[in-house]
Structure 1
């Protein structure tokens, strides 16, 4: 498994309120970003893996919808997570 529970808790602790705050939009966006980076690296080595490519597209869509939600709900939280994860140039 590429993501151990301790690593997941570390991601949520860094971007959420604590290690058990798995429901916050920031924590979920950070987790999706980690998974997207992992799948992107996998696809660079295995470019014909279409199931992984489909999963990657779905994850990007989920992250995009969470970012849209956060932008509508609280623009300052949106800007903070985008800057912290370096999602925009």
Structure 2
């Protein structure tokens, strides 16, 4: 299920500074985390949905690359973000 405009705006407002700042790394990571959690819930109910599983793996890889970039360029922000999102790392 795709994210609504209102949900995206609240995510970017909380993590990116303001709702229009959709290019911020923090906001993109938070949005990917929200999508990953919703797709994970879908896959728990539909275990044989392999195409969705592939899409989930792609999102996890994209989030991993963004987290690596953020860790390289802004270590304190990276640590705050993973603590706020509850990502194990």
Question: What TM-score, normalized to structure 1?
Answer: 0.96
Tell me the residue number matched to 1:88: 88
By how many angstroms is 1:2 displaced? Answer: 3.7
Deviations 1:16-44, CA, capped at 9 Å, x for gaps: 11011110110000000000000000000
Q: CA deviation at 1:88?
A: 1.9
Q: Which runs of 5+ in 2 are unaligned?
A: none
1:71 corresponding residue in structure 2: 71
Cα separation, 2, equivalents of 1:87 and 1:3: 20
Shift of 1:8: 0.5
Instruction: Return structure 1 stretches of 4+ with deviation > 3 angstroms.
Output: none
Aligned residues: 89
- Corresponding position of 2:33: 33
CA RMSD of aligned residues (A): 1.1
Equivalence for 1:23: 23
